[in-house]
Structures are given as C-alpha cells and as structure tokens.
Amino acid sequence: MYLTLEQRVRDAFAAHIRNAYSLDIPIVVEQPRDAQFGELALPAAFALAKQLRQPPRKIASELASAIAPIPGIAELEVAGNGYINVRFDRAAYAAALLQGEPAPPPAPGKIIVEHTNINPNKAAHIGHLRNAVLGDAFVRMLRARGHQVEVQNYIDNTGVQVADVVAGFHFLENKTPEDVSALIADPAVRFDYYCWDLYARISRHYETDPAALHWRAETLHSIEEGRAPLVEIGHLVADAIVELHLNTMLRLGVQYDVLPRESEILHLQFWATAFELLKQRGVIHLESEGKNAGCWVMPAEAFRESGEDTEDSKVIVRSNGTVTYVGKDIAYQLWKFGLLGRDFRYRRLRTYPDGHELWVSTDEPQPGLAPSFGGGSRVYNVIDVRQSYLQRVVQAGLRALGCEREAENSIHFAYEMVALSPRCCAELGIELSEEDRRRPYIEVSGRKGLGVKADDFIDALLDKALEEVRSRHPNDSPEYQRSIAGCIAIGALRYFLLKFTRASVIAFDFQEALAFEGETGPYAQYAAVRARNIFNKLRERGETLPDFAAALSEPAFARQLASEDFWQVLLGASQADSVIEKALAAGEPAHLARYAFQLAQSFNNFYHQHHILSESDREKRTFLLWMTQFFASQLARVLAILGIDTPEVM
C-alpha cells in the first residue's frame, strides 16, 4: 500500500509539473527523517527552483495548492525552505491494508539468475554459502515483485579444479574408477570432505614438485578426449560432488531450475558456434607474435575501462587449441540470451521435496519433454568481485558481437569474499604467520584447504540452536526439537550472510555468526513467533478471531490511528513492497534484511507496550489484534522472501 501511494504521488506530481511547467523531471519521493513531517516528502521544488529561477519555497506553495487531489492523500504542506510533505488519510490507508492488496502483475520477460557455481571438486565452504544465499534471496525478491525468474547453477565439471582432484585419485592414490565409486558409496566417508583434503594435498604436491604438473595436463586431455580411466573418475567425482552440494544448499532452502554443465558447452558445439561468431565478427584474432603468439585473443580496447592503460589482450583460445574459461563463458552467456542458435538437451536430475524439478544439461537425446531454458531478457551473474575483470571481458564479447542490449542486460552481481577473522583461524587451529596475524582477515583458500566447510558450520549452528530449544521446550520430542532448531539455525545463517551489503568483506567469526540475539535471524523469527503465540493463547481461551472487516470500520480506524504510536507502527509494517522495490533497484538484499529486523524490533516494542489480550476496550482490543495479525503476516512474508522460515515455537 505504501508503494502504491508513493507511486500515486510521484505520478501526480510528474504529470502536474509536465502540464504546468512543461518540464519532465524525475520526481524523488522520500521518507521524512522525522515522522512529524508526514509520510512522504518531495524535494521537487529544489530541482525546479534551478530551472525556473524562483525560490523553492514559492514553487512548493504553488505546487501544493495547484495539484489536483490525490486519492488516499489527506493533505500536502510546505515545510522548511521548500519541502512538500504529504500526509496520508490514515483510516483509508488502514482499510485498504485490511482489504489486502492484489499480487503484482506478471512482469514481462524472463530474468535469469546464475548463482552458486561451485567447482564440483570439494565440499562447499562459507564463501559459497554467501553466493548462494545472496542469489537465492535476490531471486525470491524478484519473484515477489512478479518477475519470471530462472535459476541456473553452472557446473564446471571438466575444469582444472576437478582435474586436480582426479589426478590426486589416480596419480597420488592409485585409485581406479571402481575404488572411487566405492568411496562415494561408503556411508562412513564424506566424499566432499575427502576431496577437500585430497585437493589440498595435490596442490601441496604440485608446489613441492612442479614436475608433477604434467599430471594436470594429462588429466585435462584425458577428460577432453574421453579417455579411460581418468574421464570416468572425472565424471564420478563431479557428479557425486554436485549431488552433495545440492544437498547442502537444500538445507538452506536453496533450489535451482537447471544445471548447465561445461561438458555440454563443449560437446554440443556451443563453444564451436561461438568461436565462429567471434571470428566472423572480428571480435578475436589469431596472434602471430609476442607472448600470445598462436593464441586467439580479444584486444584490450574491447574491454578495458576508460583511463586504464593496459595493452594486454585476453587469451580466448590457447596456443594448444583449447578454450579458456572466458571463451566458454561467452558461449554460455550468448545461450542465456537465446543468441546462440543452439540448445542443451536436458535430463531430470531430482525432484525436490516440494515437487519442484531440477534439470541438468546432457548431450544425449532424451525421451519426453523437458522445459525450455535460457532465452532470458536480463541476466544476473552472482559471482564474487574478484572475477570482475573476466565478467567485463564476457560483456565486451557480447557488445563486440553487436549485442549491445544484451551486453547492457548482463549484470555482474558482484559481492565481496567471506574471509576468516584471525580469531576464527586460531579457533580452527590454523597457524598464521606474523604478517597474517596483523591482517584484518585471512582469505579462504581451497588449494590450501583453508576455510570453514558449509556443512560443518550449519551443524555448529544446529547444535547451538538445539541446545537453546531444549532448554526452553524440554518436553517436546527430539524430532520436533530438531526441526525447530533447524529452522532457527538456517534463519541465523541466512540473516548473517544477508545483513552485510555486497561490497563489504565478511570477516567470518564464529562468535558473531552464531549469535541468536540482537540483529539476527532468530530475533526476527522470535518476534513473528510471539505474534503467533497471541493467537494461540486466544484459541486456548476458547475465543475465535474477530471478523476484522466487520468490526473495524473506517471511523474505528480513524479513532485508533489518531494515536501517533499506532500509526507509525502500522506505517512501518506496511512498507515491505516499497522496500523490496528499492532493494531490487540497489541490488541489495541487505536492505530487505535490515527491514525485517526493523519490523521485528517495532513489533517487539509494540508487544511490550500493549497487553493485547487483556485490553478492556473492545474496539481497541480488536484493533490491536488486527495490528498483530498484520505484523505477523508481513514479518513472515518478508522473512520468507529472505528464505527464512518462521518456526512454530521458540
């Protein structure tokens, strides 16, 4: 409703200013710092003052008196040196909220969000969780606003990282594909954890014995050419780890629509097709001399930023004829926009507990119908900020191919890394150099096996949540306690990862990440549970919920909302859609997370001040109950959009 009125006011002023002054200026609508100034404030007169060469206050007065009445708006007033403050009709506003708002109309076009993208060669760590949670929350926000979204999780199943683990199994451990299969099937072994250690081990081996690097080259060639036994081990490792990653992400409620795999980018001639396009359009050329002799390269002027003086072109095809990651990524990006003229074949990989289906690319023709994937009108790539350079090259590739609009709609949804605080390293028993100890944070490194594994961390949260739940609900069954604890643990984790803005490095610290008090997920969940408890109590007393629509007429709302406290609380609780829109525009799920916290804080305050069930004034009691219900529904909705469930009890 708040969003509706914002838009209504903005449109009304824009139209009026167009008519009266023949000016087309963007109308800024903001929330006044102080509630006494009303619900909305427009600094439009300041912008007009420049163009009209008149004092802003005079223009503001003109605007406020000349503009036609706006439905839902009680009054406009001029304040300060030219602000126009807007006051809502409180009773009408509440009545509209009570009636409920229709869902937003479906937005045109499909948005593709690519996230998670973990190399399938080892267990996921907390950095991967940030990627997935950020991407997933953004997807939920888009969907909440009526966008059609397709979630892709790219699987680099034939890359160097997988090859290194394969080489570890083959050369370091002399394991056959059968041995690896047995390991995967062994319930006593966490295969992704095993690979985590093996990956660190072979990386160390390469460092001490660089001659062994030919293992990597040999493995890559074997995988590319489909030679046994290395290609088999490669498939076994990648497929098994993908399953484990999917399980880990499902613990957080993160699901995908399709997993496009690198193997199909190559086998189904995606790259070959893109290569032809790039050559034809002269986007890349064969370098004949210098350090890149024999490589197909994209010249620096295609992607360098203004002011940057690099002359280094980017290698797309190596001198040995193999394509780099960026090359494959250009082909993949073209496919996402439906520009490649080719498609994957798809196989159903799993059906999620809620019935949603996940598909994976395959090169074998499949019986039956698969859904249609790709062909988006906008693409968000959730990839950490360190890959900005590569994302720029991909975007430049599209632009150079003449796909200007698609290049503009290729959005690198960049976020900073999750690092480890020095204290966290100490707790993990990681020895730090003198130099590292002085750093604000330590970078996670898969090669060094340095990091906090996602499942370990989730388990730690679960243990702590379980302890809390047990102390509060000792008589509930262990299964029930576990399910509540799981909900709280995931709430804590998701909120923790979302409360930081994308540009902020998270220096991971167990003490902060395991907090359930203050600005945390459980705090917000607790507020929602408290609200719900009031209704439980009501039922226990044998009462039924009042018919709010019948009991709360506009005059009743007017009487209750004359209280500034109630009005402010209601106003704050009704801004979810407005906040989501702004958070989407800013690309910051953190803004929505903060809002969820504020909402919870506001409710806790309300809860403490007003004892609802014992209120003797009948109308007021009904009103308080309605407010509680409204709060509970809004809070639960916002939390759900953040991917956080509301537990039954806490």
On whether the CB atoms of residues 567 and 34 are closer than 8 A, the answer is no
What does DSSP assign to residue 261?
B
**Separation CA 245–CA 251 (nearest Å):** 10
SS3 of residue 421 by DSSP:
coil
Told to check if 312 binds RNA by CB under 7 A, we report yes
Per the document, the length of the chain is 650
From 137-145, 247-255, 314-322, 363-371, span contacting RNA (CB under 7 A): 314-322
From 34-42, 64-72, 229-237, 565-573, span contacting RNA (CB under 7 A): 34-42
Give the nearer residue to RNA in terms of CB position, either 142 or 393: 393
SS3 of residue 276 by DSSP:
helix
Told to check if 264 binds RNA by CB under 7 A, we report no
**Separation CA 480–CA 278 (nearest Å):** 58
Among 22, 24, 26, 547, binds RNA (CB under 7 A): 26
- Least distance in angstroms from the C-beta of 357 to RNA: 26
Question: Which residues ranging from 597 to 616 are in contact with RNA (CB under 7 A)?
Answer: 597, 601, 604-605, 607-608, 610-614
- Least distance in angstroms from the C-beta of 345 to RNA: 22
What string marks each residue from 484 to 523 as x (binds RNA by CB under 7 A) or -? x---x----------xxx-xxxxx----x--xxxxx--xx
For every residue of 46-69, DSSP letters joined together read HHHHHHHTS-HHHHHHHHHHHSPP
Told to check if 546 binds RNA by CB under 7 A, we report no
**Separation CA 551–CA 624 (nearest Å):** 12
Question: Which residues ranging from 103 to 162 are in contact with RNA (CB under 7 A)?
Answer: 119, 156, 159-161
From 78-86, 369-377, 424-432, 633-641, span contacting RNA (CB under 7 A): 78-86
Question: Which residues ranging from 443 to 482 are in contact with RNA (CB under 7 A)?
Answer: 443, 465, 468-469, 472-473
- Least distance in angstroms from the C-beta of 392 to RNA: 9
Give the nearer residue to RNA in terms of CB position, either 64 or 558: 64
Residues 6+ apart with CB under 8 A from 603: 527, 530, 531, 573, 631, 635
On whether the CB atoms of residues 57 and 81 are closer than 8 A, the answer is yes
Nearest alpha carbon to residue 81 among 59, 63, 64: 59
Told to check if 318 binds RNA by CB under 7 A, we report yes
Told to check if 315 binds RNA by CB under 7 A, we report yes
**Separation CA 89–CA 74 (nearest Å):** 5
Give the nearer residue to RNA in terms of CB position, either 507 or 556: 507
Give the nearer residue to RNA in terms of CB position, either 110 or 156: 156
How many residues of this chain interact with RNA, rule: CB under 7 A? 101
Residue 224: CA count within 13 A, CB half-sphere: 13
From 93-101, 225-233, 302-310, 370-378, span contacting RNA (CB under 7 A): 302-310
Residue 479 structure tokens: 């299964």
**Separation CA 266–CA 332 (nearest Å):** 10
Among 213, 534, 551, 558, binds RNA (CB under 7 A): 534
At residue 75, what are phi and psi to the nearest 5 degrees? Answer: -160, 160
Residue 143: CA count within 13 A, CB half-sphere: 17
Residue 200 structure tokens: 């660190």
Question: Which residues ranging from 179 to 198 are in contact with RNA (CB under 7 A)?
Answer: none
Give the nearer residue to RNA in terms of CB position, either 81 or 351: 81
What string marks each residue from 392 to 431 as x (binds RNA by CB under 7 A) or -? ------------------------x---------------
- Least distance in angstroms from the C-beta of 435 to RNA: 9
Told to check if 14 binds RNA by CB under 7 A, we report no
Told to check if 319 binds RNA by CB under 7 A, we report yes
**Separation CA 213–CA 203 (nearest Å):** 10
On whether the CB atoms of residues 498 and 593 are closer than 8 A, the answer is yes
What string marks each residue from 549 to 568 as x (binds RNA by CB under 7 A) or -? --------------------
Among 30, 363, 404, 408, binds RNA (CB under 7 A): 30
Question: Which residues ranging from 83 to 112 are in contact with RNA (CB under 7 A)?
Answer: 83, 85
Told to check if 439 binds RNA by CB under 7 A, we report yes
From 14-22, 181-189, 319-327, 423-431, span contacting RNA (CB under 7 A): 319-327
Give, for 427, the enclosing helix (H) or strand (E): helix 422-427
From 57-65, 136-144, 307-315, 362-370, span contacting RNA (CB under 7 A): 307-315
**Separation CA 557–CA 327 (nearest Å):** 62
SS3 of residue 597 by DSSP:
helix
Question: Which residues ranging from 35 to 74 are in contact with RNA (CB under 7 A)?
Answer: 37, 41, 43, 46-47, 49-50, 56
SS3 of residue 80 by DSSP:
coil
Strands of 285-286's sheet in order across: 285-286, 296-298, 314-317
For every residue of 442-468, DSSP letters joined together read B--BTTTTBS-BHHHHHHHHHHHHHHH
Neighbours of 370 (CB within 10 A): 18
Question: Which residues ranging from 327 to 386 are in contact with RNA (CB under 7 A)?
Answer: 385-386
Told to check if 214 binds RNA by CB under 7 A, we report no
Give the nearer residue to RNA in terms of CB position, either 454 or 593: 593
